[in-house]
């Protein structure tokens, strides 16, 4: 890894540590230290992180902490919380932390305290969400709005969708929430088919109010509504999360029902802002506020804890250790909680859009691995899909396991079985099973010597596969806030160490720009645009079929 023209001192030291340590077996580390599980665990509020099942010892961790110090992680944390423009490529501050700030201290951007405007929007969200929930803000015909539809894409969809589903136990009994993001007309049609125009509220989430996917879906929903209730109904059934007042009013939305957010809030960090309006309506503002408080608790911990006791920093450094020294460029997030089933989808954007970069902040090509590939799903379902690869595949996949100690639905012995599964998976990945152990197991099962010789290799597991276990008392709004803020800060720290801008997303734009060139050709309104032979052939083939 290059910083400037040569490897840094801390990086060279880590390479030496890696060469000495790389073949160490975790089962031997546990055998040598009966307190290892306790020593490599941290608590915050009702959250526990056990990171003992990693290929680390004190020497490794001290070398990683030295790297964080050398890369200026402390100063970058202060810069972010202080409102400095750490998004260098777009010359913007990065202040999602301000959105959940609970104290009265100001945060200045360009000499202006941003906290009053943030609180004004939060108050507006509180008042509007309660009016919808209580039925004092009604639809055009006077009926209560009980079907809430969020129309957005990317950060305007993934965060609110994940959080709303995660907090489903807290929904108002008469509220139903829907999300439309995909430009595929099926996504829009399938939602509209379930709705009654008189009881439906649409939330259009687009900062510029020009996002093609979002506005296409919004106009389709508008036509559906006006066909049923007329043009005058639009202002009673649509609200906007935007800054473009002119376009919002042109659409027919009352600007009093436009909720602002700011350039210092990136899309994938925006669920704490007005983008979270649907969360407020679904669970109530008090629960939304508890989510902000949970995130703030993690923010305070991240900003003040020393690195050796700092949960996001430790998770970030473990990721660096595997990504850049073991050359493991992937990891899995497995929540053992059905309400968190969409967490991996959300984290994919958070991590891969933030750190999927190949140019440094010094405007030089990156010559080392940056953002890893993230995948996941809800346990125990995924145990029967890709866990075979996790246990016996040729590639190592570090895993984050997440579970509440108490379920929202304590039915029979379901949750004890779920808990036993998550704990067994972590232990199995770490411990594995030797050929000798497999042979003894087969012998006990009554297998012949020839059968044992044939099967023992298939039945053995290499083990030494790392995982973290994150336990909450319960997945409530506060815990969800902690969890999401933890991953936000983890991703940020890794971006600092890799010397990249974690807050732009120019890679999202090229394909969208080219799609705008192809669209007129598909619609038959443009001719003569040059493409490669493959793209031209595909365009012509599709046009022929669509005729």
Is 124 among the residues known to form the active site? no
Is 489 among the residues known to form the active site? no
For residues 138 and 238, give the distance between their C-alpha atoms in angstroms, rounded to a whole number.
11
Q: What is the DSSP letter of 321?
A: I
**Residue among 402, 286, 305 nearest 346 (CA):** 402
The enclosing H or E element of 18 equals helix 9-21
Question: By the 8 A CB rule, do 355 and 502 touch?
Answer: yes
**Residue among 231, 17, 265 nearest 122 (CA):** 265
For residues 454 and 52, give the distance between their C-alpha atoms in angstroms, rounded to a whole number.
35
The number of angstroms, rounded, from the C-alpha of 53 to the middle of its chain's C-alpha atoms is 23
Residue in the structure block whose two tokens are 């770490």: 430
Q: Is 403 helix (H, G, I), strand (E, B) or coil?
A: strand
Question: By the 8 A CB rule, do 55 and 28 touch?
Answer: no
Q: Is 461 helix (H, G, I), strand (E, B) or coil?
A: strand
Catalytic residue among 165, 198, 213, 353: 353
**Residue among 469, 342, 482, 330 nearest 401 (CA):** 469
For residues 459 and 442, give the distance between their C-alpha atoms in angstroms, rounded to a whole number.
9
For residues 86 and 108, give the distance between their C-alpha atoms in angstroms, rounded to a whole number.
14
Catalytic residue among 6, 173, 384, 544: 384
**Residue among 127, 117, 119 nearest 102 (CA):** 119
Q: Is 110 helix (H, G, I), strand (E, B) or coil?
A: coil
Is 512 among the residues known to form the active site? yes
Q: Is 102 helix (H, G, I), strand (E, B) or coil?
A: coil
Q: What is the DSSP letter of 358?
A: -
Q: What is the DSSP letter of 243?
A: S
Catalytic residue among 232, 309, 512, 543: 512
Burial of 134 (0-12, 13-18, 19+ CB in 10 A): exposed
Structure token digits, residue 46: 């009702």
Active site residues: 353, 384, 512
């Amino acid at each position: 890894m290059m910083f400037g023209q040569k490897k840094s001192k801390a990086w060279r030291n880590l390479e030496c540590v890696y060469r000495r340590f790389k073949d160490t077996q975790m089962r031997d580390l546990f055998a040598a230290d009966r307190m290892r599980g306790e020593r490599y665990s941290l608590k915050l509020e009702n959250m526990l992180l056990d990171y003992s099942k990693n290929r680390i010892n004190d020497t490794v961790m001290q070398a990683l902490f030295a790297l964080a110090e050398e890369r200026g992680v402390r100063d970058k944390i202060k810069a972010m919380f202080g409102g400095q423009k750490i998004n260098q490529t777009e010359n913007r501050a990065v202040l999602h932390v301000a959105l959940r700030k609970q104290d009265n201290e100001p945060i200045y951007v360009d000499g202006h305290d941003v906290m009053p405007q943030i609180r004004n929007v939060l108050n507006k969200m509180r008042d509007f969400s309660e009016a919808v929930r209580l039925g004092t803000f009604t639809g055009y015909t006077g009926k209560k709005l009980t079907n809430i539809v969020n129309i957005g894409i990317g950060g305007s969809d993934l965060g609110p969708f994940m959080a709303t589903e995660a907090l489903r136990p807290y929904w108002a009994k008469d509220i139903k929430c829907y999300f439309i993001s995909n430009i595929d007309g099926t996504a829009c049609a399938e939602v509209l088919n379930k709705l009654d125009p008189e009881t439906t509220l649409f939330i259009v989430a687009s900062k510029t109010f020009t996002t093609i996917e979002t506005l296409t879906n919004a106009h389709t929903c508008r036509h559906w509504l006006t066909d049923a209730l007329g043009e005058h109904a639009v202002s009673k059934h649509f609200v906007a999360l935007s800054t473009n007042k002119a376009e919002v009013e042109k659409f027919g939305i009352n600007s009093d029902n436009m909720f602002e957010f700011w350039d210092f809030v990136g899309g994938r960090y925006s669920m704490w802002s007005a983008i979270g309006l649907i969360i407020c309506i679904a669970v109530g503002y008090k629960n939304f506020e508890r989510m902000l408080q949970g995130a703030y608790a993690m923010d305070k911990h991240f900003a003040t804890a020393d690195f050796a006791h700092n949960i996001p920093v430790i998770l970030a450094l473990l990721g660096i250790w595997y990504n850049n020294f073991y050359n493991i460029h992937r990891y899995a997030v497995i929540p053992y909680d059905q309400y968190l089933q969409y967490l991996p989808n959300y984290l994919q954007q958070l991590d891969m859009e933030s750190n999927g970069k190949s140019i440094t902040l010094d405007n030089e090509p990156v010559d080392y691995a940056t953002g890893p590939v993230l995948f996941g799903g809800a346990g125990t379902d995924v145990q029967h899909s890709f866990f075979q690869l996790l246990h016996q595949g040729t590639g190592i996949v570090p895993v984050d396991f997440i579970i509440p100690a108490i379920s929202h639905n304590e039915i029979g012995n379901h949750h004890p079985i779920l808990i036993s599964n998550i704990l067994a998976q972590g232990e199995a990945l770490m411990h594995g099973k030797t050929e000798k152990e497999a042979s003894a197991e087969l012998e006990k099962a009554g297998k012949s010597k020839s059968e044992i010789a044939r099967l023992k290799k298939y039945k053995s597991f290499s083990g030494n596969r790392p995982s973290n276990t994150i336990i909450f008392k319960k997945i409530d709004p506060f815990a969800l806030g902690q969890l999401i803020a933890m991953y936000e800060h983890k991703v940020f720290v890794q971006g600092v160490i890799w010397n990249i801008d974690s807050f732009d997303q120019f890679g999202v734009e090229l394909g969208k720009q080219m799609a705008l060139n192809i669209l007129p050709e598909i619609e038959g309104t443009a001719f003569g645009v040059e493409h490669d032979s493959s793209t031209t052939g595909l365009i012509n083939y599709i046009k022929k079929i669509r005729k």
